[in-house]
A and B are shown apart, each in its own frame.
Chain A
Amino acid sequence: MKNLKKYLNWKLVYFLLAIMIVPKPAFAMHIMEGFLPVEWAIFWWAVSIPFLVIGFRSIRKTIIENPEAKMMLGLSGAFAFVLSALKIPSVTGSCSHPTGVGLGTVLFGPMAMSVVGFIVLLFQALLLAHGGLTTLGANTVSMAIVGPLIAYGVYKGSTKMGLSFSWAVFLAAALGDLGTYVVTSIQLALAFPSDVGGFFASFTKFSGIFAITQIPLAISEGILTVVIMNFLQKYNLAELKALKVFKKGAEQQ
């Protein structure tokens, strides 16, 4: 009897939630190979290249000033590697994956992550047929350039507002993740404006589909980034200080 009651309750909860969150086809990953018209593919490549050059220089500078940081850079890359390989189910009934660039952004700044993100995307495009070479420029702009820029802005803004280091890291990683997919839908909406309503109609459509999918994943990414940061604060405080992660005594709670 007790079991039956429990079962019924679950059914009820399930139906309520199913009504609230109707499964929609979601697409919330990188833009697939060949799915951007040629002129847009070239445009986004052109946008991404200067950032990659600046990013490469920024990394070289950091490593010359601070050779110990190589391991931390490896960690940032590894973190992005793991997170972007994890396709996680979401409330919309489809899967997407986090980006993992928030950690490196807080450690090395947004420019360095353009190179790291680019490498992850290249790996996925070549070996996994996930994303693609023609869309690599566009995907680099969303995941490796704008995502980190948003994360960096959020991190700086929230530490200035007096939020704790952990909260600043959480918000930076989560919003950077979410921002990446907003940019992806802008890119798609620009390339495929709707006949009725143009860019904005398409943008609402694309972003409406992915935003809900991405929210829980963005939260997960924020939490995981905080976990790694907690660890770094405990065992690698000297390196964090050398990278000037903390400004004006913002460290710890």
Chain B
Amino acid sequence: MKKNLLLIALVIILAVLPLFFQKGAEFGGSDDQAEAEITKIDSSYHPWFSNIWEPPSGEIESLLFSLQAAIGAGFIGYFIGLSRGKSKKDDNKEGKGKHVTY
């Protein structure tokens, strides 16, 4: 599993490096910039529908985003624990079985 740790480190590096290279950048998301881009091409266009519900603040939005990540990560953690446990149990059984026959 050492290889996995190395791979994860690589992902972290990929995510952190831009913060150093682009110190002046805003690291904004898409929405406003996309709006600008579209209005540049077609200045008469106006969104004809808006979101039914929007998170009232940036804080609540980040709460919901982290909730989404937490739900996913929680399940992945559960899955990993479960399968590791299962495979350990199987290994033990196999090991014991061999021991008896010899």
Contact = CB atoms under 8 A, between A and B. Distances in A.
A78 B37 contact: no
B76 A223 contact: no
* Most chain B C-beta atoms within 10 Å of own C-beta, residue among A21, A29, A82, A195: A82
B52 A38 contact: no
Given A95-B28, A129-B61, A223 B68 contact: no
A92 B19 CA distance: 10
Contact of B51 (A18, A123, A125, A206): A125
B21 A21 contact: yes
Interface in B1-22: 1, 3-4, 7-8, 10-11, 14-15, 17-22
A87 interface: yes
A81 B27 CA distance: 22
Nearest to B4: A227
A32 B8 contact: no
B21 to A, nearest CB: 5
A31 B30 CA distance: 9
Interface stretch (A58-66, A151-159, A229-237): A229-237
Interface residues of B, number: 61
Contacts of B15: 88-89, 216, 220
B7 A95 contact: no
A107 interface: no
Contact of B50 (A34, A78, A124): A34
A82 B17 CA distance: 21
Given A79-B72, A235-B86, A224 B11 contact: yes
B36 A25 contact: yes
A209 B66 CA distance: 27
A128 B10 contact: no
B50 A192 contact: no
13 contacts: A18-B21, A26-B33, A29-B29, A34-B50, A75-B76, A78-B71, A81-B68, A85-B66, A94-B28, A123-B68, A125-B51, A230-B1, A231-B80
Given A23-B22, A27-B33, A85-B66, 18 more contacts: A25-B36, A27-B37, A78-B73, A78-B75, A79-B72, A84-B68, A85-B69, A91-B17, A91-B21, A126-B53, A128-B55, A129-B51, A192-B41, A220-B14, A223-B8, A227-B8, A232-B83, A235-B83
Interface of B: 1, 3-4, 7-8, 10-11, 14-15, 17-31, 33-38, 41-42, 45, 47-55, 61, 64-66, 68-69, 71-76, 79-80, 82-84, 86-87
Interface of A: 14, 17-18, 21, 23, 25-29, 31-35, 37-38, 71, 74-75, 77-96, 123-129, 132-134, 188, 192-195, 202, 205-206, 209, 216, 219-220, 223-224, 226-228, 230-232, 234-236
